[in-house]
Amino acid sequence: MKKILVTGAAGFLGSHLCDRLIEQGHRVVGLDSFFTGSEKNVAGLKKHANFKLIKHDVVDPLAAQDLDEIYNLACPASPVHYQYDPIHTMKTSVLGALNMLELARATGAKVFQASTSEVYGDPSVHPQPEEYWGNVNTIGIRSCYDEGKRAAETLFFDYQRMHKVQIKVVRIFNTYGPRMAANDGRVVSNFIVQALRGEDLTIYGDGSQTRSFCYADDLVEGFLRLMNSHDTITGPINLGNPGEFTMIELAEKVLRLTGSNSKLIHMPLPQDDPKQRRPDISKAKQYLDWEPAVPLEEGLKRTIAYFKEALAG
């Protein structure tokens, strides 16, 4: 049994990770500021003897405690949330990483950083391998998130070089599934909620831009495999689904699976919105023996079922 700290524990991905860690028999301390996280996401876990939930903002240091592993997932991840207070978003990524690295240094814990495909910006290389340095706007409206995550990666590798902290870094590509917030502005939740409510589906631009969608369970499996891999495998490693779909294709799938008669409407493309995004997952296959198992159609069915229940409630 390990004692594991998870930041962002009440969030969409953090809560799924906590579920898996508790299933494996570990003791889990979950931290969350509840800016985007919800206690509903961990309602079942709160009854478990091995789970403890603490309200805490990772911008503030945490007192040292006996820990084996730290998963740092704390940060709003959708534009509508991370642009709400961009300065705090940047602080969450940078100071949060710094505080978790100091905690790892003090306790000897292995520490995991949830980075993002946003570090590649609007990529000029496709698909994106980990060696690609990105095509980013450092001062745009998305930069608080992109640059915060890039700075966090820098800190992780400098702590490894200077202080021999054991690190693991993943770059997450678009992920979806149950427990996404209905108002988070991400395309899968947007389309599903709009379709279920009979509202027009909002497509930004002409809908030809592409994304690759990874189901939450697949992503969490990748997290665990990286954390349990040999210490020499530090990352960054791309985790995502290499299946690539246009926004029009995604909208049509959602309409068909929900049986909705909603129409598609087009809105202007937001600043710095990437035109293409698809992970090169060669390293994940090679080092972690990992690739996604849940097809988009099946994952959408599960996510639609979740939102049907959530909206009814």
| Alpha carbon distance 198, 254 (integer Å) | 12
DSSP codes of every residue in 37-96: --GGGGTTGGGSTTEEEEE--TTS-------SEEEE--S--SHHHHTTSHHHHHHHHHHH
What is d(CA 12, CA 119) in angstroms, rounded to the nearest whole number? Answer: 20
Which residue in 109, 115, 102, 100 sits closest to 58, CA to CA?
A: 100
HSE-up (13 A, CA, CB side) for residue 205? 16
Q: How far, CA to CA in Å, does 134 sit from each of 118, 124, 130, 205? A: 9, 8, 10, 22
**Is 145 annotated in the active site?**
yes
Check 82, 145, 159, 176 and give the catalytic one.
Answer: 145
Which residues are part of the catalytic machinery?
145
